[in-house]
Amino acid sequence: MEIIDANTVFGVWPRKELDISINNLLKIMHENKVEKALSLSMKGVFYDYEEGNAETLKACREHPEIIPVATCDLRKYWGDKRFIKAIVENGFKALRLFPDLQNWPINYEPFEILCENLIPYRLPIIISVTGMGSITAISRICGPGEIPVILTGAGYGLFAEAIAVMKKYPGIYLETACMDTPDGFEIFVREVGATRLIFGSYSPINYFRPSFACLEKADLKDEEKSLIASGNIKKLLRI
């Protein structure tokens, strides 16, 4: 089964001592037979997003198995369309947002403007959820539009909200790093279909194996596991 990890990062984690270096990420990928990984430099999250995006591109040029994901700190964004055009032209395949780490609200005008500016490009957004109600808020801004949205960080307590939103909006997907309940995969496949789940681990911050073991052991057909492990993200990113 081909594996593409849709949720990885590299660089420096300033909040505690963690080895999230690009070399450690590549080591994890090699040890677990991960073909490719979507990734970005955390410099773009904690320091400067323009510098972080440049660092991401450099790493991806040196390591073709890394698929470049851009980021943007919406506390510093007021609607510059040139930023969106530039990341698309530079080959970024998605835009990752971290309201959880940067502490900006979902109901936030810069976020709405960003989503409007993304519509002509259909560049997928990967966004961390920030608690109960955040998935609903994201869906009301992004769901009716033309932007694919991949939700990350949705654990058991947000499953009902995620399913309700995904039933309503076909362009919203769920990344599976927090799918850690015994029947989580089975519930989502039954309710919204295997085509709406995208495998991710959030490594090297999180351990890779537990995330993938939940998918491996899920009571699903092989073709459903294959879609989740790589097929869905390949189709979404056209890679």
Residue 44: partners with Cβ closer than 8 Å, 6 or more residues away: 50, 51, 52, 53, 55, 56, 70, 71, 72, 73
The total number of structural domains that make up the chain: 1
Phi-psi region of 132 (alpha: psi -120 to 50; beta: other; left: phi over 0): beta
Whole-prediction pTM value? 0.96
| Residue-wise pLDDT tens digits, 95-137 | 999 999 999 999 999 999 999 999 999 999 999 999 999 999 9
**Is 90 exceeded by the pLDDT of residue 216?**
yes
Computed over every residue of the chain, the mean pLDDT equals: 96
> Where residue 100 sits, what CATH number does that domain have?
3.20.20.140
Containing structural domain, residue 88: 4-237
Residue 5 three-state SS:
strand
Residue 16: partners with Cβ closer than 8 Å, 6 or more residues away: none
Task: Give the Cβ contact number of residue 89 at 10 Å.
Answer: 9
Listing DSSP states for 21-78 in one string gives -HHHHHHHHHHTT--EEEE-BTHHHHT-HHHHHHHHHHHHHH-TTEEEEEE--GGG-S
Band (pLDDT 50/70/90 cuts) for residue 182 is: confident
CA distance 154 to 89: 31
Band (pLDDT 50/70/90 cuts) for residue 143 is: confident
| Residue-wise pLDDT tens digits, 69-101 | 999 999 999 999 999 999 999 999 999 999 999
Task: Give the Cβ contact number of residue 169 at 10 Å.
Answer: 17
Distances (CA, A) of 121 to 9, 67, 144, 195, 237: 24, 18, 16, 22, 12
Residue 89 three-state SS:
helix
Token pair 């790493």 is found at 59
Rounded mean pLDDT, 4-29? 94
